Amino acid sequence: MILEVLQFPDPRLRQVAAEIADDAVDDELRALASDMLETMYDEPGIGLAATQVGVPLRLIVMDLNWSEDGQRDPLVLLNPRIVEREGRSVSENEGCLSVPDLRADVTRAERVAVEARTLEGESLRREAEGLESYCFQHEIDHLDGKLFIDRISRMKRDLYVRRRKKQLRLEALEHPAPTT
Ligand SMILES: [Zn+2]
- Give me the CATH topology for the region 11-174: Peptide Deformylase (3.90.45)
Give 139 Cα–ligand 1 centroid separation in angstroms. 6
Per-position pLDDT tens, the chain of length 180? 999 999 999 999 999 999 999 999 999 999 999 999 999 999 999 999 999 999 999 999 999 999 989 999 999 999 999 999 999 999 999 999 999 999 999 999 999 999 999 999 999 999 999 999 999 999 999 999 999 999 999 999 999 999 999 999 999 999 887 776
Please name which of 144, 168, 138, 164 lies closest in space to residue 40, comparing C-alpha atoms: 138
**Residues paired with residue 59 on neighbouring β-strands, in sequence order:** 78
For the chain, the farthest-separated pair of C-alpha atoms sits apart, in whole angstroms, at 56
Strands 47-49 and 99-117: unpaired
Give 124 Cα–ligand 1 centroid separation in angstroms. 22
Phi-psi category of 78—alpha, beta or left, where left has phi over 0 and alpha has psi -120 to 50?
beta
pLDDT of residue 175: 86
Please name which of 134, 132, 127 lies closest in space to residue 91, comparing C-alpha atoms: 134
The whole-angstrom separation of Cα 89 and Cα 105 is: 10
Edge-first strand listing for the sheet containing 99-117:
47-49, 59-62, 75-96, 99-117, 123-129
Q: How many other β-carbons are positioned within 10 Å of the β-carbon of residue 156?
A: 13
Give 177 Cα–ligand 1 centroid separation in angstroms. 28
Give 170 Cα–ligand 1 centroid separation in angstroms. 24
pLDDT of residue 136: 98
Which residues keep their CB under 5 angstroms from ion ligand 1? 96
pTM of the predicted structure, to 2 decimals: 0.95
- Beta-carbon contacts of residue 49 (< 8 Å; ≥ 6 apart): 17, 59, 60, 139, 140, 142, 143
> Catalytic: 19?
no
- Beta-carbon contacts of residue 45 (< 8 Å; ≥ 6 apart): 97
pLDDT of residue 166: 96
The whole-angstrom separation of Cα 16 and Cα 146 is: 9
The residue extents of the domains of the chain are 11-174
